[in-house]
Structure 1
Amino acid sequence: MLNLVIGGVAACWMGCGPMETVPDIRSASAAGDKIAEAEENASPPIVRAARRQIEETTIYDPAYVRLKYPGGDVPRERGVCTDVVIRALREGAGMDLQKLVHEDMNRAFNQYPAIWGLKKPDPNIDHRRVPNLIAFFKRQGFMVDGGKDKANYLPGDVVTCLVGNRPHIMIVSDKTAEDGTPQIIHNIGSGVKEEAVLLSFKLTGHFRVKGSGFNGP
């Protein structure tokens, strides 16, 4: 006797009654995809733009690269921690940090860290350095006094820290760890990842982007 599955119901070819219902795996998978898509669309734009990089940026590469200006970027499959933030704010908030940081450094070069021996702004690299982004965000009035209270960290916030003695930057996710601590999206050495490590490092700055305009003196 030949059995067929028709419309999710097992039936025999010889005309016997319907047998056990078989789950429609394709329908369940499609429904799951729709739920995941709806949840992702509910995330703030900055978080969505950061999360998209998880599958795209898989290489940590700190090489100096000559970029077009404005809107310049290193190859999408590579980058450093700052590139996660640059791309997320550009795509999620319409904020081109390359252009904004360069313009602000032209206005107030002496207000930025004198760490690299530069005598004038360099639009290829300035916005890709954590200390410069800290200075820029402070000058824009984006600083938040979040402390170590996890409730103060909102999705899309930008957080800076020290990993050992090296500056690092990351974006707060809308996903949380089991204890309620927000996860973060960052590239710390092996591509962009979403991890529960927000309070694992010494925090040095907490910023909340309010707009894309220039607010500095």
Structure 2
Amino acid sequence: MDVTRRAVLRTGLLAFTSALPAVSQANPAAPTWPSSLVQAARAQIGVTTRYDPTYVRIAYPGGDVPPDRGVCTDVVIRAYRRAFGFDLQKLLHEDMKANFTAYPKAWGMKAPDPNIDHRRVPNLAAYFTRRKAALSLEDDFASYRPGDLVTQMLPGNLTHIVIVSSKTSTEAPGRPLVIQNIGAGTSEDDTLFAYQRTGHYRFAPAPV
């Protein structure tokens, strides 16, 4: 999909998100281990203010685009780095080098590319699945705990990933919010059940 069409779709999604009700209720079911991950994701709100899918060359390991911009995957990558020192760029690249056939080939890749591989939702989903972090998809709000990762399919067949928040909706009690970059930077929104969910992961950084 070209960048122009993607930008138009993101603008429409942003308009939908901005119309959602205010949300600020705490989630009493929040476990303790992912609280650092949620805090690290929430700390990006107001810092990352742009959605920018441009391919750029970045450092390796520890590479990143400027903090004021990024895509949905950057929220996850930055949160794990900030909270635990986990570098998903390096971890995923090393796994792709050793197990390239286990990853999607949707982009015509002939070899791993540390500039972009970790910033693609299907690659992260494959990595988390290979790490035995995949969970079943449920409609029960309580199945989604703070710190969980959920992949979605947005209109226009756009893949997306969110971090489940420790706050819940005021519109539907118990429905978790998510922290994401869906079009205009990192935000905390009530969209977990607004789009098709395609994957659910609980990727602990250390034994719990």
TM-score of the pair, normalised by structure 2: 0.80
Name the CA distance, whole Å, in 2 between partners of 1:205 and 1:46.
19
Tell me if 1:189 matches 2:183.
Answer: yes
Name the CA distance, whole Å, in 2 between partners of 1:76 and 1:43.
22
Name the CA distance, whole Å, in 1 between partners of 2:80 and 2:106.
25
Instruction: Give the structure 1 partner of residue 109 of structure 2.
Output: 118
Tell me if 1:211 matches 2:202.
Answer: no
Tell me if 1:174 matches 2:166.
Answer: yes
Name the CA distance, whole Å, in 1 between partners of 2:97 and 2:82.
24
Q: Percent identity of the aligned residues? A: 54
Name the CA distance, whole Å, in 2 between partners of 1:148 and 1:66.
39
Name the CA distance, whole Å, in 1 between partners of 2:131 and 2:34.
25
**Alignment length (residue pairs):** 173
Q: How far is the alpha carbon of 1:62 from its aligned partner?
A: 0.3
**Residue from 143, 148, 157 that aligns with 2:134:** 143
Q: Is the CA contact 1:43–1:174 (under 8 Å) kept in the aligned structure 2?
A: no
Structure 1 unaligned segments of length 5 or more: list them: 1-40
Q: Is the CA contact 1:97–1:127 (under 8 Å) kept in the aligned structure 2?
A: yes
Q: How much is the aligned-residue C-alpha RMSD, in angstroms?
A: 1.7
Amino acid aligned to 1:74 = V
Partner of 2:134: helix, strand, or coil? coil
Q: How far is the alpha carbon of 1:210 from its aligned partner?
A: 2.1
Q: Is the CA contact 1:170–1:186 (under 8 Å) kept in the aligned structure 2?
A: yes
TM-score of the pair, normalised by structure 1: 0.77
Q: Is the CA contact 2:34–2:147 (under 8 Å) kept in the aligned structure 1?
A: no
The higher-RCO structure (CA 8 Å, 6+ apart) is: 2
Tell me if 1:85 matches 2:76.
Answer: yes
Q: Deviations over 1:72-113 (max 9, x none)?
A: 110000000000010011111321110001000001001100
Amino acid aligned to 2:198 = T
Runs of 4+ in 1 over 3 A off after TM superposition: none
Name the CA distance, whole Å, in 1 between partners of 2:51 and 2:161.
14
Amino acid aligned to 2:112 = P
Name the CA distance, whole Å, in 1 between partners of 2:64 and 2:116.
10
Instruction: Give the structure 1 partner of residue 42 of structure 2.
Output: 51
Name the CA distance, whole Å, in 1 between partners of 2:33 and 2:199.
27
